């Protein structure tokens, strides 16, 4: 089954404790992206990756890191989480056709609480 998986689905942590949220897709998509969803703000792009070893900042990259060592995986790293990073996080992937982004396939989300 074609899908995007994220782990963990729920996480409660404390300020300053490094964490990683994993994202994996089995559709051979070149493009992967991370978003955070907050009430009234919709989905805001954190980082995206056009292919292996190619990443770029979205609109809200501060406090986050990403890496793209393999095509299928795109982990999101919070080196020193703070309470304002409490949010619902989504990973997404898609093909890029002739340099354009197509339909994005979203994972089920990771609800992160930073105390």
Instruction: Give the interface with other proteins as residue ranges (CB under 8 A).
Output: 4, 31, 33, 35, 40-45, 48, 50, 56, 58-59, 90, 92, 96, 99-104, 106-109
The residue count of the chain comes to 115
If the CB atoms of residues 33 and 85 are measured against other proteins, the closer one turns out to be 33
**Cα–Cα dist 96/103, whole Å:** 9
Proportion of the chain in helix, strand, coil states, percent, rounded to 5 = 5, 55, 45
**Cα–Cα dist 94/12, whole Å:** 29
If the CB atoms of residues 14 and 41 are measured against other proteins, the closer one turns out to be 41
The least distance separating other proteins from the CB of residue 42, rounded to whole angstroms, comes to: 4
The least distance separating other proteins from the CB of residue 74, rounded to whole angstroms, comes to: 14
């Amino acid at each position: 089954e074609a899908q995007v998986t994220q782990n963990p689905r729920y996480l409660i942590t404390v300020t300053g404790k490094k964490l990683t949220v994993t994202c994996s897709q089995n559709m051979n998509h070149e493009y992967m992206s991370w978003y955070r969803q907050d009430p009234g703000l919709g989905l805001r792009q954190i980082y995206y990756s056009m292919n292996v070893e190619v990443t770029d900042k979205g609109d809200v990259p501060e406090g986050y890191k990403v890496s793209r060592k393999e095509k299928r995986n795109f982990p999101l790293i919070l080196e020193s989480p703070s309470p304002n990073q409490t949010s619902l996080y989504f990973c997404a992937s898609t093909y890029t056709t002739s340099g354009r982004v197509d339909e994005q396939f979203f994972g089920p989300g990771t609800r992160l609480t930073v105390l």
